[in-house]
Amino acid sequence: MKKLILILFIITGIAFQAKSQVKVYASGGPEIIFSLAEIEDQARSGSNILRFVPWFNVQVNGNVDFGKHFGFLFGGAIRNVGFIYEYSDTEPGSNATIKKKYRNYNLALPVGIKLGVMNSWLFYGGYEIEFPFSYKEKTFINGVKQDSKITGWFTGRVPSYYNSVFVGVQFPYGFSIKFKYYLSEFFNQNFRAPDGGLPYMGLKSNVWYFSLNFGIFRNTSAYYKQKYHKEGKKEYY
């Protein structure tokens, strides 16, 4: 992370030396997430099910554009992240199919860069640290929801923070597609339950997702004012 921050500062310094016209503005919008996980399970053999999450994901970004083609981003987000895991019961004589739904609400802090045309097509990418604060786990046996739901605030079932990286492309008028991969495992494998068991030992899982984003880099103070549409302008530099 220190190397990434150093690189960003160096790039920022170069951009200032170029004496480009700097634009600073805020932007933000919702995110619709389609998530899966890279799973290695030492105890079971199962499959990953696509998780669709339209709610509740919101992000706010600070944008520093050093001219028309290069920019820096930072910000914050609240994000619903998790995965669905389905496997066969390992108990002798059991034919049950067990499905687990895991999710966290995370506070996320991204930093990154943007390359392209700042008010139109652009590519972006960077690093994000996320702090989980609300955990939920649901169990289904043969499609029937069980009463053994687990919830918790700032629980030790998961790490205190996640490291992740992301890349994306923004299209004109603010719509973008993003890919994100969590370098940190979803669970704390060393977590010990009240009964003394280790429910996540041997279950390695790294979440990744694609998402649809709306307006996260949109300069509403310039490009999207009605007068710019009336005048047919697409540039604000």
Q: What is the pLDDT of residues 118-144, one digit of tens each?
A: 877 899 999 999 999 999 999 999 999
Cis-peptide into 56, omega within 30 deg: yes
DSSP state of 212: E
* Cα 205 from Cα 198, distance rounded (Å): 15
For residue 172, what pLDDT is reported? 80
**Gap between the Cα atoms of 171 and 155, Å rounded:** 38
CB crowding 28-65: b at 16 or more within 10 Å, else e: bbbbebebbbebeeeeeebeeeebebeeebebebebbb
Average pLDDT, the chain: 86
**pTM score, two decimals?**
0.83
Q: Look at residue 226 in the predicted model and tell me its pLDDT.
A: 47
User: What pLDDT shows up at residue 132?
Assistant: 98
Interval 155-193: pLDDT, tens = 999 999 999 999 999 988 778 999 999 999 999 999 999
Give the tens place of pLDDT for each residue, 81-124: 999 999 988 777 778 899 999 999 999 999 999 999 887 789 99
Q: Which of 35-49, 69-83, 88-102, 220-234 has the lowest mean pLDDT?
A: 220-234
pLDDT band of 13, cuts 50, 70, 90: low
62 or 2: whose pLDDT is higher? 62
pLDDT band at 9 (very low <50, low <70, confident <90, very high): low
Whether 236 shows a pLDDT value over 50: the answer reads no
User: In the prediction, which pLDDT does 17 show?
Assistant: 44
pLDDT category of residue 216 using cuts at 50, 70 and 90 = confident
pLDDT tens per residue across span 71-85: 999 999 999 999 999
Q: How far apart are CA 31 and CA 179, in angstroms?
A: 12
Could you tell me if 196 and 140 are in contact, meaning their C-beta atoms sit under 8 angstroms apart?
no
In the predicted model, is pLDDT for residue 64 greater than 50? yes
